[in-house]
Structure 1
Amino acid sequence: MNGTVRGTAAPRAGDDRREANAATVLRAVLDHGPVARSGVSRLTGLSPAAVSRQTVDLLRLELLVERPELAVAAPGVRGRPQLPLDIDDRRLAVAGLHVGLPYSTFALLDLRGRVLVRQELPNGGRRGRAVLKALLERVPRLLAAAATGPAAGRRVLGLGAVTGGAVDAERGMTVRHEPLGWREVPLRELLERATGLPVRVDNHARALAAAEVLFGDPAARRSMVQLFVGHVVDASISVAGTVHQGPPSVTGDGGHLPVPGSSARCHCGRRGCLSVAASDDTLFAAAVEQGVIARPDRQLLLAAVRAGDPRADALVRERAVVVGGALALLADVVNPDLLVLTETFSVADPAYLAAVREEFALRSHLHRDASLLVAQRFGADALAVAACAPVLGELYARPLPGF
């Protein structure tokens, strides 16, 4: 099931246009397929000959497939009907690993971003290198098991590895992850050695933004801010379909936006940072202190909310106010076409997204329409999709190997 590295070497002189055209054709089929070659030409502005050349390569690479059962002759056009092209979602897969605090997530996705395999891996309270050691032992076994499961017969092109904090995607390095206790962890090198797959590493907020650009709201391709709220609080920005990386390893540090009225001490030494005021740790600790749940656990608090516990509801709404204020500040600074929130309760219940939007509308000085603020669309699969996004993003941007 092992794949090959794609697009890791610098393009040869004169081949940039071929690579760009192939990416344009592949993206048009992702968005509009099944679609005939003539349709791809109209959609992209590429000549029929250019579309035909790129299609030959993409079919050979098993990225596209022809759909003869959908062929229909155009009225008044002689000759054989064109065979519609579609993304080949049956022969290839990409793998992903999201490294979180209470648990990590392993996944396999097809080329349309649909989840084939998703498995949560409890970290068992481990921190530091102990988390990494367990994952390096387990991920190869999961890949082997997938070869006989739902992904049987598929070739895995690569492994994405994402986590919170400061991540240097170019070096494949987790620079800093405070809750995990990671510093300068060479994640790409270690996972490539363990799995034999090419590995792409990124921050999970940037990976979620990349997934939204690939498979989500079309507005994301114009400009977007993604806010991730969990045990770690991270933000990312994309413009014109490109997720901003930032020198050298972080888009920015939205987790240290000030939260008025908060006195919680952050790991940075200051008080009132968003990364503490809005974090899962803070929310779950408050729920335990008030007797809402017996231990700090997301599923327990979700169950309490769904059971109608007013204390649970009040705690979640308090966080919604904090998050809404932070999003208003981000929107006023960046003024994006779209704001995407990845936060457990806003995804699970529209009432909590409405509470975030209400505070956003109240706090935004630009008075933007709160409907630009949406919950991420991947639901329970969000971390699985994010984990695979670094590989899928590179595939769709640079689909031709050997450059």
Structure 2
Amino acid sequence: MAGDRRGVANAASVLRTVLDHGPVARSGISPLCGLSPAAVSRQTTGLLRAGLLRELPDPAGRAGSGRPRIPLDLHTGAVGGPVAAGLHIGVPASTFSLVDLRGQVLARRAFPHRDPRDPDLSGLIAAELGRFLREYVTGSRPLLGVGAALGGWVRPDAGTVVRHPALGWRQRPLATELSRALGLPVHVDNHARAVAGAEILFGHPAARRSLVHLFIGNVVDAAFGIEGTVHQGPGSAAGDVAHLPVPGSGAVCACGRTGCLQAAASDTALGAEAVRRGIVPDPSVPLLVDAAAAGDPRADRLLRERARDVGRAAALLLDVFNPAVMVVTELSGVLHEGYLDEIRAAAVERSHVCDDPERIIAPHAGPAVLPQAAATVLLDPLFRDPAGLTWECEITSGGYGLG
């Protein structure tokens, strides 16, 4: 676990190998990751000491002769297994979560926003997140810190929300605000990049080759990853697709043009249209999805209209990037395969390079996509530099507590 770059790369390689193949014996790690047995031994010793790996009982139950092949796995045990807190900040509500090293969501809670433009919203979120963590984090499980994800333009390196129009945030030092309030390390990123990172780390194997992620919520964003890395771009501004044109859409956008993706397909636009048509009393996409599930043909028709708009926009991204997989986070498609099929059909019909609808997938975590993705904002740096994050979080001395 030495601080030199080779040590960092070797530790990350071992940890990722155990993530992908564990439980696995030390002798099995070397051929899988390409490191020498001696290098694997050094790194596993450090990762065991840091509490990120654990030894499991010998499955053969052997005693006496022969060196036992003790399997190693990520430390996800209820005693000693570290956890990451996740915070997804949406417009109507925030979601809190606790996630283990395999991306499994152990607990979560929604926190509705009374006023999304309250200037003290981040303070209210921090206070409620602190109560959530005090309830669910015990001394037996070290807390690594907090991963926070939200829409808009986010600079992870500075921990700053550059621009989030729906919340009224500009140049908001969110990581610093949350860290001071909670007494924990906090990493922040855009939610489209967070979902892409979670898919690369825990999801579809092809996502590590290349993926495009399209996020459809109150804020519309996208992310692109190649060879296991999500692209940030100068100033971390990559992924703004709010004004991507949707072929055939006449929706009027606040920018003055028509057919922009944000105006045609966002949750804000969909909720308003559902109220205008008298389908639901409040502009809520979950209510609309529930109405469709209960058999309301008007709700089903509107959701399919949105799905086709999303599919036509997805076709443009498929043609530009031609990724191994395209992940679409859109509530109805995540919950019901039929709406995802509608997205696929519209995308394949419009795309000039993609004729395989199976390349278009929903997030592997399903309804837990945002709780998992938010925590991945913290877990992804851990898997890239296990020593760096464990030193930051003092995991070997029991993790952080909350006062």
User: Normalising by the residue count of structure 1, what TM-score does the alignment of the two structures yield?
Assistant: 0.92
Instruction: Give 1:128 shift.
Output: 4.6
Q: Which runs of 5+ in 2 are unaligned?
A: 393-403
Contact 2:318 2:354 in 1 (8 A): no
Q: Aligned partners of 2:7, 2:329: CA distance in 1, in Å? A: 36
Q: Aligned partners of 1:188, 1:268: CA distance in 2, in Å? A: 30
1:320 equivalent in structure 2: 307
Instruction: Give 1:130 shift.
Output: 3.5
Structure 2 residue corresponding to 1:248, chosen from 230, 235, 248: 235
1:19 equivalent in structure 2: 8
1:75-114 to structure 2, matched below 5 A, reads 79-90=66-77, 91-114=81-104
1:60 aligns with 2:49: yes
Q: Aligned partners of 2:292, 2:334: CA distance in 1, in Å? A: 13
Q: Aligned partners of 1:185, 1:267: CA distance in 2, in Å? A: 23
1:356 equivalent in structure 2: 343
Instruction: Give 1:255 shift.
Output: 1.7
1:158-237 to structure 2, matched below 5 A, reads 158-237=145-224
Q: Aligned partners of 2:194, 2:255: CA distance in 1, in Å? A: 24
Instruction: Give 1:267 shift.
Output: 3.7
Instruction: Give 1:348 shift.
Output: 1.0
1:3 equivalent in structure 2: none
1:356 partner SS: helix
Q: Aligned partners of 1:265, 1:133: CA distance in 2, in Å? A: 35
Paired AA for residue 207 in structure 1: A
Structure 1 residues 179 and 224: alpha-carbon distance in aligned structure 2, compared to 1, 3 A threshold: same
2:321 equivalent in structure 1: 334
1:79 partner SS: coil
2:400 equivalent in structure 1: none
Paired AA for residue 145 in structure 1: E
Deviations 1:286-307 (A, max 9, x none): 1111111111123321211111
Structure 1 residue corresponding to 2:31, chosen from 29, 37, 42: 42
Structure 2 residue corresponding to 1:284, chosen from 266, 271, 275: 271
Q: Aligned partners of 1:58, 1:160: CA distance in 2, in Å? A: 21
Paired AA for residue 53 in structure 2: L
Paired AA for residue 30 in structure 1: L
Instruction: Give 1:368 shift.
Output: 3.0
Q: Aligned partners of 1:173, 1:66: CA distance in 2, in Å? A: 39
Paired AA for residue 113 in structure 2: N
Contact 1:71 1:84 in 2 (8 A): no
Q: Aligned partners of 1:279, 1:175: CA distance in 2, in Å? A: 21
Instruction: After superposing the two structures, state which structure 1 stretch, 24-33 or 78-87, moved more.
Output: 78-87
1:4 equivalent in structure 2: none
1:133 aligns with 2:120: no
Structure 1 residues 128 and 183: alpha-carbon distance in aligned structure 2, compared to 1, 3 A threshold: farther
Instruction: Give 1:69 shift.
Output: 3.9
1:268 aligns with 2:248: no
Deviations 1:258-283 (A, max 9, x none): 12333333343433210121101111
1:373 aligns with 2:360: yes
User: Normalising by the residue count of structure 2, what TM-score does the alignment of the two structures yield?
Assistant: 0.92
Instruction: Give 1:145 shift.
Output: 1.7
Contact 2:223 2:238 in 1 (8 A): yes
Structure 1 residues 174 and 269: alpha-carbon distance in aligned structure 2, compared to 1, 3 A threshold: farther
Structure 1 residues 373 and 72: alpha-carbon distance in aligned structure 2, compared to 1, 3 A threshold: farther
Instruction: Give 1:334 shift.
Output: 0.4
2:286 equivalent in structure 1: 299
Instruction: After superposing the two structures, state which structure 1 stretch, 222-231 or 263-272, moved more.
Output: 263-272
2:299 partner SS: helix
Structure 2 residue corresponding to 1:142, chosen from 126, 132, 136: 132
Aligned-residue sequence identity (percent) comes to 52
Paired AA for residue 332 in structure 2: F
Instruction: Give 1:131 shift.
Output: 2.1
2:24 partner SS: coil
Deviations 1:348-401 (A, max 9, x none): 111111111111111001143111000112122111011101111000000013
1:116 equivalent in structure 2: 106
Deviations 1:7-64 (A, max 9, x none): 9xxx95xx11111001000000000000011110110111111100000000000100
Paired AA for residue 337 in structure 2: P
Q: Aligned partners of 2:133, 2:274: CA distance in 1, in Å? A: 37
1:129 partner SS: coil
Contact 2:123 2:178 in 1 (8 A): no
Q: Alpha carbon RMSD of aligned pairs, Å?
A: 1.9
Paired AA for residue 94 in structure 1: A
Q: Aligned partners of 1:104, 1:348: CA distance in 2, in Å? A: 19
Instruction: Give 1:72 shift.
Output: 6.3
1:384 aligns with 2:371: yes
